[in-house]
Structure 1
């Protein structure tokens, strides 16, 4: 019996893809004076931003790079980011059914709280575990296990809904049932690679699993 659903945020609840890609294009042009590889950037989705920037911009001052990245997004988030189809309806239905819900994300806490407040969905979530709340990040199981513990749930009664390889590996490592959203470019490839049983065409399909 499913009593708990934990969600990733970026690419799962909200479409932040283009904003992230544009943000990376911006910092690549500022610091490297060249274009970035969109396929590569998309492959890092689900990885903490600090990890990506420390690896790819190690020749530059980290604070300068991340400040440039975030400043680019400040005035663009509200215009370029939106919730995926049927997300609010699904969250409302699950809440009314007494399903416990949380978010496990590679975003930092402040950014996550700002985002869910902006979309007026903070009331649906009983716990949020962000990148700066844990020592080990996805695909390590730590953030997901922490969320389950705080929700007083068990791995057997929990679904983890995500869009990236980091999400699928995190769920598998935590011995939790992974649910893959099917609206990303490589969703079918990920479903086959990780043998994911449940793939959603839209968020409302989650209701049929519970």
Structure 2
């Protein structure tokens, strides 16, 4: 069976099984949620760990149209992106988690590499899209940058884990800034990639 047929069948099954939860989302938002469910096989992302949108899609489209930077907290987020769409849209993806200057500065300041990478990517974060799928410390650092006046166009924040994942997302939802996040501890780099891929595809289809 071809990959396209498998994906088509998967989406059909999701539509059949999701029930009324689909109605909690606007049509374009649902397509993003459905992509995350397809990636994770987890309906909780439409339920108890539901995705939450705040003026996100229009902000994403404007940023993509401006050929924005995309700053990721891990290389895994970048690895999961559709490179053809990324390149065709002229988007630059940045992940500095493994850069030598980040490693050196993190040791010097006794901070995590994730938060240090965000601090050292401040110029790229301004008016860009931030995609966080792993480290709550990265999200907390981005919120500090916002407090300092460095505002991204959109934050995709789905850090995962037991320490500060839920809390950092709760903090984000207090900010009046475009974001996509989710409730609770679940998340992950593949979820962040799925959201970005869905946004790029929506943008492309919207321009046809």
Shorter-chain TM-score above 0.5: no
Higher helix share: 2
TM bucket, shorter chain: 0.3 to 0.5
TM-score computed with the length of structure 1 as normaliser: 0.40
TM-score computed with the length of structure 2 as normaliser: 0.40
